């Protein structure tokens, strides 16, 4: 999905460049390369998540930083986990941020392993066959 930002209010939106901003009607601008993959240690501190020195954000809301944290938490990702994130560079209120589109824990980290195992066990579920 294309992502664009509004030069007037500084918000990012999951819309094509050129469409009007839902808030103020300013034509949205392109944010450049659409998808990139970054990985590293996730840091969540003072209401901002960051990875590899980039601030993480999610578009379409009033607070893109807390939206991003919500998104990461829903996936079981916590501060200190090693993760990989797919997304795009964007501008929010004059700052360069990274718009999160997908996030996953990476294999090689101790904290992450337990998360991955927990999920694998849940998915594995009951392999029992019914008895007759």
CB of 68 to Zn ion, least distance (A): 19
Interaction between residue 28 and Zn ion (CB under 5 A)? no
Residue 4 or 21 with smaller CB distance to Zn ion: 21
- As measured in angstroms, the least distance from the Cβ of 98 to Zn ion is 20
Please report whether residue 9 would count as binding Zn ion according to CB under 5 A: yes
Tell me the pairing of strands 48-51 and 95-105: unpaired
Of the candidates 108, 121, 64, 56, the residue with the CA atom closest to the CA atom of residue 82: 108
User: What CA–CA distance (Å, rounded) separates 85 from 36?
Assistant: 8
Please pick, from the candidates 16, 23, 52, 96, the single residue that binds Zn ion as defined by CB under 5 A: 23
Q: How far apart are CA 43 and CA 55, in angstroms?
A: 10
Instruction: Note the residues at the interface with Zn ion (CB under 5 A).
Output: 6, 8-9, 21, 23-24
């Amino acid at each position: 999905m294309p992502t664009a930002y509004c030069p007037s209010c500084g918000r990012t939106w999951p819309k094509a460049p050129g469409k009007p901003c839902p808030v103020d009607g300013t034509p949205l601008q392109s944010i450049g390369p659409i998808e990139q993959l970054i990985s590293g240690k996730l840091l969540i501190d003072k209401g901002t998540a960051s990875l590899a020195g980039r601030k993480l954000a999610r578009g379409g809301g009033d607070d893109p930083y807390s939206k991003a944290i919500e998104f990461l938490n829903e996936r079981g990702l916590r501060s200190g986990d090693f993760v990989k994130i797919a997304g795009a560079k964007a501008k929010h209120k004059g700052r360069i941020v990274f718009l999160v589109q997908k996030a996953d824990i990476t294999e090689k980290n101790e904290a992450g392993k337990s998360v991955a195992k927990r999920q694998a066990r849940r998915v594995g579920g009951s392999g029992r066959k019914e008895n007759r």
